[in-house]
A and B are shown apart, each in its own frame.
Chain A
Amino acid sequence: MNHIIYMSRAVRPLSDQDLHELLEQCRRDNALHNVTGILFYSHGNIAQLIEGEPDIIGPLYEKIARDGRHSNVHKLADKPITERSFPGWSMAFHPLEPQGFHELTDFLLPEAVPESPSTLTIADALILDLVRQAVFNTERSASSAAPTLSSGGA
């Protein structure tokens, strides 16, 4: 059993619709391949932890890293673990229109994300705490975020 943690930037902000589609697709595919974990999204910042068998999540990570919806994919951890820390698959973000999301089982509001599980090593729990902070602490990340695309001009 391995886990991988990475951070990335969305190429353009993901809409509720985009997130919903991603959620549906990941729920289906991850359940199929016994992949668990959590994804954080806010204002174009993305971080994700996936856990599963190395020959599943290795190629999955490669596929995700090549996904055109995001770039600057930066791996922070990729190592064997003794047990899973996440019972299922979930995504945490702030939808613009929260109504449709509350019923979804795999959806979490960022405030509702539990503490980093104690099954993680202290170093990995720290990574997860830091990425969560980097994704959701938008005021600070906004100032240090990648430059926004300028419109018009040559």
Chain B
Amino acid sequence: MQHQQLQHILKHVPAGIATLLGPELRFSFANEAMQTLLGGKPLQDQKLADQVDILTPELVEVMQQVYQAGTQFVAKAYGLKHALSEAAEDEVPRYFDIALEPLKDEHDAVQGLLVFVLDVTQQALAQQRAHELARETRRLDARLRVLTETAPQIIFTVDAEGRFEYVSPQWYYFTGQPTTADLNLIWPLLIHPDDRLRVMYQSESARKAGVGWSYEYRLRRHDGQYRWMLSRALPELHVPDKPVFWHGAVTEVNDQRELSEALRRGEAELRFLADSIPQLIWTATSQGFIDYYNQHTLAYSGLSGEQLGPTGWISLLHPSEQNLGARRWVHSVATGEDYEGLFRMRRNDGEYRWHIIRARQLADSRGPRWFGSCTDVDDQHRLREVLQAQYDELARTNRDLDTFVYTASHDLKQPLHNLRGLFDELRRAATFQDEEASVMLEMLDDSLSQLDVTLQELAATVQEQRQLNVPAETIDLQSVTEEVLLGMRPQVQETNATIELNFAAAPKLLYGRANLRSVLHNLINNALKFASPLREPRICVSSALSETGKPLLRVEDNGLGMKPGDAGDGMFQVFDRQHPHIAGAGVGLYLLQRIVNSRGGHIEVDSTPGTGTRFTVYWFE
């Protein structure tokens, strides 16, 4: 019964068990596992040597040696190439611990072998993997070391108490500390006093909470300078255990930090400035959305930044201008062109005030942005409106006056004509006895002529006035002057004047043709009229460029000249007469003055009584 039980156990043990007897080592017992291992055929009385294709020649020989020597032997993790244990086609080698125990009789003589085969494939493979892993780990470790030691950052490992387990050599380079320095003691001392407590606290609370950290602080460099550093670390997690180590890096961020600090400072200063200006100031993204309104904008509109929103300014405009304002803004944002417009903007009390809205795109380190302002020009605008109204009124009055003068001179012509007729008739029909009569008649005749000239000139003044607005053209001075002189031939011949023309210095002039003719006519006429009876008149007409390079005209004569005190504006007043004995002179100069002034120029006079006069017409200055 006991024997049977033993047989049963042996049969089902998950290890191969067999006994081999005799010098030929024939199987006497083999349990199921052994049978499966060797191919599943019955093994009873089979010779060991016949199993050589599975049990390898080497193993068979070792077994024979054990039999002969009578000493036990254990082969560990022995690989059997064609393990047939489970699947025949399974080519993977399997590993076995094989124990060979000599079976002896009572005389200590070897009778056979007890073979015990245990499949240790799993363990063997695990061991192999462990071995490979160890190698890989060494390789990775080496690589990690190279990496940590070549990276510009300081790499470190601390434990849960904050004690440094590892720090890369960069720490020593950066701090200039000897490699013998006690890291745990020195590191905190190198942190800027203002940051030290905060850093210690932050790192400790992160370690307590089992989380990573990221903070910045100033660390003393080898040269004594404090530099901003970014420290980041993460715990090494093996759930569910609490982390034991934190690995991290310290990176110098001084430059970035200073830059962004400067930016922040700059931005803050700008905002402060913008907030203290009594103007509406705002900035917008490159896409056209307002991201900042200054304080005054909020006060002016009575709305919060939130209420205004990214485009709310448009609703402050006068309803009739909103569409235009929006369209222009979209266009500016699309093209980058400056934004500019005159708009009415609603104040918090509902009053619309005129503003010039301007915005320009400017690129800073964050890319292009828009900077805008709205300037209140309401007062100027209103003032301009008033001025414009006054100007219009004046212009109208002026026009009315011109019309009046023109009509008056025209209307007076007829009575004058009649008067002259009557006078001539009277002179013919009546005889005057009085001695003085002929003198008085002469004076009357003179006055009548003078009145006639004055009326003509008045009419001419108005006519010229109406031509002031004719467009300018480029005119050849030589030819136009010759034309004018042609029309004045009688006077020129009468006075026997020499007229010299010299336009070489500035032969052309951009001006209204009729105006130019008037100017020339009047000046030459004037020179002829005030010729000195003592000498033959010489008149010189020339052009030149002024000191500022603009064209001018000179008319010089050797005539009567004028009293120095009168060379001012007075001379140009209507009817102001320099030489009362010469007929009709005042209107001409007045006319001249108006023509030249109206086109932005002025006239200067140089005169010496008894020597001559020089008129200089500065056309455009």
A: residues with CB less than 8 A from B are 7, 76-77, 121-127, 129-131, 133-134, 137, 140, 144
Chain B neighbourhood of A125, CB < 8 A: 326
Task: Fill in one digit per residue for B295-339: 1 if any A CB lies within 8 Å of its CB, else 0.
Answer: 000000000000001111011000000110010011001100000
Chain B neighbourhood of A77, CB < 8 A: 309-310
B301 to chain A, nearest CB (A): 12
A85 to B314, CA, bound (A): 20
Chain A neighbourhood of B368, CB < 8 A: 144
Chain B neighbourhood of A140, CB < 8 A: 334
**Residue pair A123, B367 in contact (C-beta under 8 Å):** no
Q: Which of B287, B323, B326 lies in contact with A134, CB distance below 8 A? A: B287
Q: Which of B315, B322, B330 lies in contact with A133, CB distance below 8 A? A: B330
* Subset of 17 A-B contacts with CB under 8 Å: A7-B287, A76-B289, A77-B310, A121-B315, A122-B314, A122-B323, A123-B312, A125-B326, A126-B311, A129-B326, A130-B288, A130-B289, A133-B288, A133-B333, A134-B287, A137-B334, A144-B286
**Residue pair A127, B334 in contact (C-beta under 8 Å):** no
A40 to chain B, nearest CB (A): 13
Chain A neighbourhood of B333, CB < 8 A: 130, 133
- Closest-by-CB residue of B relative to A126 is B311
Contacts A137-B334, A144-B367 given; indicate if A126 touches B326 (C-beta within 8 A). yes
**Residue pair A129, B330 in contact (C-beta under 8 Å):** yes
Q: Which of B286, B311, B322, B323 lies in contact with A127, CB distance below 8 A? A: B311
Contacts A137-B334, A140-B334 given; indicate if A122 touches B322 (C-beta within 8 A). yes
- Extra contacts besides A76-B289, A144-B286 (17): CB < 8 Å: A7-B287, A76-B309, A77-B310, A122-B314, A123-B315, A124-B311, A125-B326, A126-B329, A127-B289, A127-B309, A127-B311, A129-B326, A130-B287, A130-B311, A130-B333, A133-B333, A137-B334
Q: 5 closest pairs, A vs B, by CB?
A: A134-B287, A126-B311, A130-B288, A123-B311, A122-B322
A131 to B334, CA, bound (A): 11
Chain A neighbourhood of B289, CB < 8 A: 76, 127, 130
Q: Which of A123, A129, A131, A137 lies in contact with B309, CB distance below 8 A? A: A123
B: residues with CB less than 8 A from A are 286-289, 309-312, 314-315, 322-323, 326, 329-330, 333-334, 367-368
**Residue pair B314, A131 in contact (C-beta under 8 Å):** no
How many residue pairs bridge A and B at CB < 8 Å? Answer: 49
Most buried by B among A77, A123, A134, A144: A123
Chain B neighbourhood of A134, CB < 8 A: 287-288
Chain A neighbourhood of B288, CB < 8 A: 130, 133-134
- Closest-by-CB residue of B relative to A122 is B322
Contacts A134-B287, A144-B286, A144-B368 given; indicate if A123 touches B314 (C-beta within 8 A). yes
Chain B neighbourhood of A126, CB < 8 A: 311, 314, 326, 329-330
Chain B neighbourhood of A131, CB < 8 A: 287
Q: Which of B326, B334, B367 lies in contact with A122, CB distance below 8 A? A: B326
Chain A neighbourhood of B311, CB < 8 A: 123-124, 126-127, 130
Contacts A127-B289, A144-B286, A144-B367 given; indicate if A133 touches B334 (C-beta within 8 A). yes
A124 to B333, CA, bound (A): 16
Chain A neighbourhood of B323, CB < 8 A: 122
A113 to chain B, nearest CB (A): 14
Chain A neighbourhood of B334, CB < 8 A: 133, 137, 140
A7 to B285, CA, bound (A): 13
A73 to chain B, nearest CB (A): 14
- Closest-by-CB residue of B relative to A133 is B334
Chain B neighbourhood of A144, CB < 8 A: 286, 367-368
- Closest-by-CB residue of A relative to B330 is A129
- Closest-by-CB residue of A relative to B326 is A126
B336 to chain A, nearest CB (A): 8
A125 to B309, CA, bound (A): 13
A121 to chain B, nearest CB (A): 7
- Closest-by-CB residue of B relative to A47 is B287
- Closest-by-CB residue of B relative to A131 is B287
A7 to B309, CA, bound (A): 15
**Residue pair A76, B322 in contact (C-beta under 8 Å):** no
Chain A neighbourhood of B367, CB < 8 A: 144
A122 to B323, CA, bound (A): 8
**Residue pair B310, A127 in contact (C-beta under 8 Å):** yes
